[in-house]
Every structure is written in structure tokens, then in C-alpha cells.
Amino acid sequence: MPGTVISDENWEEFEPVEAKCSDSELIVVLANGLKLSTPLWWYPPLLEASSDARNQIELSPSGLHWPDLDEDLSIDGMLQGRKYPGAKPPAEAAE
């Protein structure tokens, strides 16, 4: 939902309650039932990490943290469709 705005009044609805990574995507379920799915290639440190490290995810009210990778993502950034600068789709990266 690019463009979704998290305000002071509704931030609790956007708190992550579950998160996992597959080999190709990051899936986050929010308190309001919304399921976010973003391509893993948007986040090169996660894409390059082992499956075990990728799935050691700590949830916070506003985002996700990977302690073994020292990596953080905000729910707000995911909702806005933000990806790492320079992140490239796999086909494009292979060129």
C-alpha cells in the first residue's frame, strides 16, 4: 500500500505481529491484519544472509530488527515501497 500514512492516532494498527523471510520475499503481518510482502532483493543484506540469520527477526512497535545482521527496517518504509539505494532485481543484477 504505497502512500499509506501512519499517524499518531493509528500507529498501533501498523505494529508488526509476525515476520518471516522466504528465499525470495519478506512477509510481515500487521496488527490490523494487513500482510506486507516485499521482494527480498529490495534489501541486499537480507538477500545475501543465510536463511537462519534472515529469520532471526525481532519485532518492535515500528519495525523489524535482525540482530545477527545489525539490520533494521521500518514498517513505514515498507508501506511506502522504499528499498535500498541501488538494489536491483536479480535479472538486472546478473547483467
- 30 neighbors 59 (Cβ within 8 angstroms): no
Strand partners, 59: 64
pTM score of the predicted model:
0.83
> Per residue in 32-48, pLDDT tens?
999 999 999 999 999 99
Q: What angle do CA 11, 60, 15 make, to 5 degrees?
A: 30
Map out the domains of the chain with their CATH numbers: 11-85 (3.30.2020.40)
Average pLDDT over the chain reads: 88
> Per residue in 8-19, pLDDT tens?
666 678 899 999
